[in-house]
């Protein structure tokens, strides 16, 4: 349980300093590139669809985004291949070594994490639960730390790691958190350890982050996939929030204001690899699986070996 004062001891979960994940070697290309839908590319594409609805709500329109997997190019000519064999081409040999090192590092780093972002009420938690049920051995959910008090039914270590402010501030100063933010007077954050534990089990780590957390994550070397889950409209989001009957009017207005800001920021190019409009839950879930299918297959294949 969170408490205050100087008696707060550093939680062993946060006590061990963690080394940052290795960065990509120079000369390699990113594994995921965002392509706009009008580009013609020969790689397999994951499409983001936006089903059009006949509603009176104002809709937020997004670019149709495609994901393409790209590996460093190793198209060697016969002369270059001969150069490797005859020790005559040090440049190509160095490139080959870098590529081999990059593949080795990828294996050591484990599966790529997945960052889910989007307004409160967009349906992120429901989609994550379905993923975890269908692919229990593939995905692991990163449990965040917070200094707020547990709500009824919340379990320490499952819903959040509930810690006191002094403990969390020590962890932040020791660079043990990937990202952290303060909301309504409480600290929230994702520890490096939480992500590494899931990766070490050869699972895809799912992180639920706000825009501030997404920006912090982009400063790390974890190289996750960035996905944004959107409601079909602000009006639909307000309906969902009111339907919960757990939010005060002040809380609803705060969440709606934050949602408008999130939706605007998400239009910036390069922020997200894909945007999924959650109007119909089954359709949104199928689109999410489509986007993640390649990563899922990689983990499943590695577990068979």
| Phi, psi (rounded to 5 degrees) for 80 | -65, -40
DSSP state of 175: T
CB 69 within 8 A of CB 112: no
Instruction: Work out the angle at residue 30's Cα, subtended by the Cα atoms of residues 138 and 176, and round it to the nearest 5 degrees.
Output: 60
Which amino acids are annotated catalytic?
151, 244, 255
Q: How far apart are CA 169 and CA 146, in angstroms?
A: 11
Would you give the distance in Å from CA 231 to the centre of its chain?
A: 18
For the stretch 12-17, contacts whose Cβ atoms lie closer than 8 Å and that sit 24 or more positions apart, written own/partner, are 13/161, 13/191, 13/193, 14/145, 14/163, 14/167, 14/168, 14/170, 14/171, 14/174, 14/176, 14/191, 14/193, 16/193, 17/174, 17/175, 17/176
Whole-number CA gyration radius for the chain? 22
Burial annotation 55-81 (CB, 10 A radius, 16+ → b, else e): eeeebbebeebbbeeeebeeeeeeebe
Cα dihedral angle (13, 184, 132, 213), rounded to 10 degrees?
Answer: -80
Q: Provide the terminal-to-terminal Cα distance of the chain, rounded to the nearest Å.
A: 42
């Amino acid at each position: 349980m969170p408490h205050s004062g100087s008696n707060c001891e550093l939680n062993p979960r946060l006590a061990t300093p963690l080394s940052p994940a290795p960065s990509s070697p120079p000369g390699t290309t990113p594994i995921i590139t965002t392509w706009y839908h009008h580009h013609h590319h020969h790689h397999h594409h994951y499409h983001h669809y936006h089903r059009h609805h006949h509603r009176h709500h104002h809709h937020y329109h997004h670019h149709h985004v495609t994901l393409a997997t790209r590996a460093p190019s190793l198209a060697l000519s016969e002369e270059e291949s001969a150069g490797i064999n005859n020790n005559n081409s040090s440049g190509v040999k160095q490139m080959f070594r870098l590529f081999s090192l990059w593949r080795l590092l990828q294996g050591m780093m484990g599966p790529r994490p997945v960052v889910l972002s989007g307004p409160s009420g967009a349906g992120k938690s429901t989609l994550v639960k379905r993923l975890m049920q269908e692919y229990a051995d593939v995905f692991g959910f990163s449990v965040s730390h917070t200094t707020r008090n547990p709500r009824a039914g919340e379990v320490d270590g499952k819903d959040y790691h509930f810690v006191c402010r002094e403990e969390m501030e020590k962890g932040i100063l020791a660079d043990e958190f990937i990202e952290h933010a303060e909301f309504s007077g409480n600290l929230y954050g994702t520890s490096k350890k939480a992500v590494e534990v899931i990766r070490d089990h050869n699972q895809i780590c799912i992180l639920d982050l706000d825009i501030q957390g997404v920006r912090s994550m982009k400063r790390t070397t974890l190289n996750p996939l960035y996905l944004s889950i959107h409601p079909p409209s602000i009006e639909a989001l307000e309906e969902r929030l009111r339907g919960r009957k757990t939010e005060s009017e002040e809380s609803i207005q705060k969440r709606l204001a934050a949602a408008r800001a999130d939706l605007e920021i998400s239009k910036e190019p390069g922020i997200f690899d894909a945007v999924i409009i959650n109007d119909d839950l089954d359709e949104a879930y199928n689109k999410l699986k489509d986007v993640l299918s390649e990563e899922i297959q990689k983990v499943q294949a590695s577990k068979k070996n």
